[in-house]
Amino acid sequence: MTPPPSITPDISFESLMDHTEFRVDADRAHITVDEEKCRGCSVRGCVVACPARLFVPTSDGGILFNYEQCFECGTCYLVCNEEGAITWTYPEGGHGVVFHRS
């Protein structure tokens, strides 16, 4: 196992993400996380599997997440082993990720 990721920005990954367009909906997060359920979770598949690195564990056992650079793939809720800890819907129409060359 690799050590848990740090919240310090990874420059190479951030610059990779910089090439993808996100039309962020500032009014609504399309991902919600139930912190109580996450605190009881030892697996945390979302942390390693999310291809956009949106989930970051905190030292006190919680989870921080970012919804703004989400690929809207659904990996997080599919690998979540705590029923309903991650609630995931699509962003409002016209918002979120916009692929051009994929």
Partner 1 sequence: MRGCGRCGAVRRGSRRYSAPVASEPPDGPAPNPSDAEPAGGPVVGPDGVTRVDAVVVGAGPAGSAAALQLARAGRSVVLVERGPFPGAKNMYGGVIYGRILDSLVPGWTEEMPIQRWVTRRQTMMLTESQAMTIDFRTEAWGEPPYNGATAFRGDFDPWLAGKATDAGARLLCSTTATGLIFGTGDAGRRVVGIRTDRPGGELYADVVIAADGVNSFLAKEAGLYPTADAANYTVGVKEVLSLPRTVIEDRFGVRGRHGVDIEIIGATGEVPGGGFVYTNLDSVAIGLVLSLPKLAAGGRRPEELLAELKAHPAIAPLIDGGEPQEYSAHVIPEAGFDMMPQLVGEGLLVSGDAAAMCLAAGLWLEGVNFAIGAGAAAGRAAAVALDAGDTSAEGLSSYVDRLERSFVLEDHRRLRQAPHLLMGERIQQKYPQMVCNTVERVFRVDNPLPKQRIHEIVLDEVRRSGVRAADLVRDGWAALRTFG
Binding site for partner 1 (CB under 8 A): 1-2, 5, 7, 9, 13-25, 27-30, 32-36, 38, 43, 45-46, 48-49, 51-53, 56, 62-69, 71-75, 78-79, 89-102
| Least distance in angstroms from the C-beta of 40 to partner 1 | 13
| Least distance in angstroms from the C-beta of 59 to partner 1 | 14
Rounded-to-integer distance, Cα 73 and Cα 19, Å: 17
Residue 69 buriedness (CB in 10 A; 0-12 / 13-18 / 19+): middle
Which residue carries 């082993």 as its tokens?
81
